[in-house]
């Protein structure tokens, strides 16, 4: 593989965005790719936005994904999808969690949650919408929604030769391995 691929994961603090990114990066490294990851989290413990940028290929020199360069964006929250759309390539794909977390201005009544986000994005780019929280809850724990999204991302990336099971088992809390493996498989097979 001579081409570098660009992946962007965006969400809100507490959604497991960074854990999913670490699993993704570890799996890609174990498969022999050169991987660079960067994470940005502003006030993530208080519901601020969290984003990670992952670039992989034969040789990667920088972890930074520029505007219009992301091959795949995974939005863990709908409004984050709208916020980051300018980073997607014209032929890129978005995986969007059909999940809302109102921002502070919305909670204070100073703004309204934007309506029609999924419809607007679907008209302009390739979008896979997932109700990851519901899927994870049906599997036994809504906190596994990040791994449901990771499974859908891996399928969208169309990358082979990676031991995702090992990467998941290495990174999730002990006792939650089976739940997360089921979450990954469910997301992958959507």
Q: Could you read off the pLDDT tens digit of each residue along the chain, which spans 190 residues?
A: 459 999 999 999 888 999 999 999 999 999 999 999 998 776 555 667 889 999 999 999 999 999 999 999 999 999 999 999 999 999 999 999 999 998 888 889 999 999 999 999 999 999 999 999 999 999 999 999 999 999 999 999 988 889 999 999 999 999 999 999 999 999 999 9
pLDDT, position 1: 45
* Rounded Cα distance, 127 and 171, in Å: 28
**Domain spanning 5-189 has what CATH number?**
3.40.920.10
Q: Are 44 and 52 in contact (CB under 8 A)?
A: no
Tell me the chain's radius of gyration from C-alpha atoms.
Answer: 16
pLDDT, position 37: 95
Q: Are 149 and 136 in contact (CB under 8 A)?
A: no
Structural domain spans, the chain: 5-189
Buried b / exposed e over 149-186, threshold 16 CB at 10 Å, is bbbbbbbbbebeebebeebbbebbeeebeebbbbbbeb
pTM of the model: 0.92
Q: 164-171 and 17-30 are packed helices; what angle lies between their axes, rounded to 10 degrees?
A: 130
pLDDT, position 42: 66
pLDDT, position 105: 82
Residue with structure tokens 């940005």? 40
Give the helix/strand (H/E) hosting 88: strand 88-97
pLDDT, position 34: 97
Query: 3-class DSSP state for residue 180?
Result: helix
């Amino acid at each position: 593989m001579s081409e570098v691929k660009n992946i962007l994961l965006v969400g809100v603090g507490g959604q497991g965005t960074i854990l999913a990114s670490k699993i993704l990066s570890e799996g890609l490294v174990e498969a022999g790719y050169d991987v660079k990851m960067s994470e940005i989290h502003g006030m993530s413990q208080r519901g601020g936005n969290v984003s990670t940028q992952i670039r992989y290929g034969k040789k990667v020199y920088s972890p930074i994904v520029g505007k219009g360069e992301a091959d795949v964006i995974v939005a863990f929250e709908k409004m984050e999808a709208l916020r980051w759309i300018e980073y997607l390539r014209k032929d890129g794909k978005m995986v969007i969690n059909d999940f809302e977390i109102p921002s502070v201005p919305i909670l204070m009544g100073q703004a309204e949650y934007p309506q029609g986000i999924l419809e607007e994005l679907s008209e302009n780019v390739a979008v896979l919408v997932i109700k990851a929280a519901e899927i994870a809850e049906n599997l036994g724990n809504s906190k596994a929604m990040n791994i449901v999204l990771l499974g859908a991302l891996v399928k969208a990336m169309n990358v082979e030769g990676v031991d995702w099971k090992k990467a998941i088992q290495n990174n999730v809390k002990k006792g939650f391995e089976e739940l997360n493996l089921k979450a990954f498989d469910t997301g992958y097979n959507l």
